[in-house]
Chain A
Amino acid sequence: MVANDVFKALADPTRRAIFEKLAEGGMNATALRDGMEISQPAVSQHLAVLRAAGLVREQRLGRFVNYEVDPNGVAGIGRWLERYRAYWPERVNDLRNVLKEMDQ
């Protein structure tokens, strides 16, 4: 089950830290390791688990591979929903003000 994979993938604290770092913006494995005491193979392994759970995806940019939160994954969609659930009531507030200022 997908939710179970996601749960397992994020249950590991290192993996969770990697995921949270990527949630702030995509980056390559070298940048990802920066500030973390973790070997390159270990990072690769964690990224593979995150990818298998559909949380992270990789994008090849020439010789480099960039990792980012998969926008179509569960977490990506969750972030999208969170953003727009807050967004529309704000837009409607602005709309109400615009309607007040408009001529009939």
Chain B
Amino acid sequence: MSDTNDVDPERSVSGEYDLDAPPEKVWRAMTVPAIRERWLPGVVLSNPEPTETSVGRKVRYRMRDKDDSFGDSVVTFEVRPNGGGGATLRILHELRESRIVAPTPGPANRNRPPQMRAA
């Protein structure tokens, strides 16, 4: 479930956004908690630490629905240069089976230790 190949389009929301800022700057906004907090408040995250990080390219957080009616979901931010000096941000938000143990091991039920932030 960790690769975009396995994404279930009926249980996910995705979008690509062109941003007028270099990828490194967008990356900092994704990963430095004090900056991230200003556009993606920690209250929506079930853990403010990313569950997966590929430095400079991809970061993944677990999210918890604010009224907790859907259980956990996972959001992946991918940042890449857009060729014009800015960045393209891809957001993939996947709903995980709530309160049901996934049949196959995957990020949704893996208890990783928090990773070091690189930004």
Contact = CB atoms under 8 A, between A and B. Distances in A.
B19 A80 contact: no
Contacts, number: 64
B13 A92 contact: no
Interface stretch (A9-17, A45-53, A94-102): A94-102
Residue in A68, A71, A81 with the greatest tally of chain B CB atoms within 10 Å: A71
Interface residues of B, number: 29
Interface in A77-93: 77, 80-81, 84-85, 88-89, 91-92
Main secondary structure of the interface of B (DSSP, over half): mixed
Contact of B70 (A80, A94, A102): A80
Interface of A: 68-69, 71-72, 76-77, 80-81, 84-85, 88-89, 91-92, 94-99, 102, 104
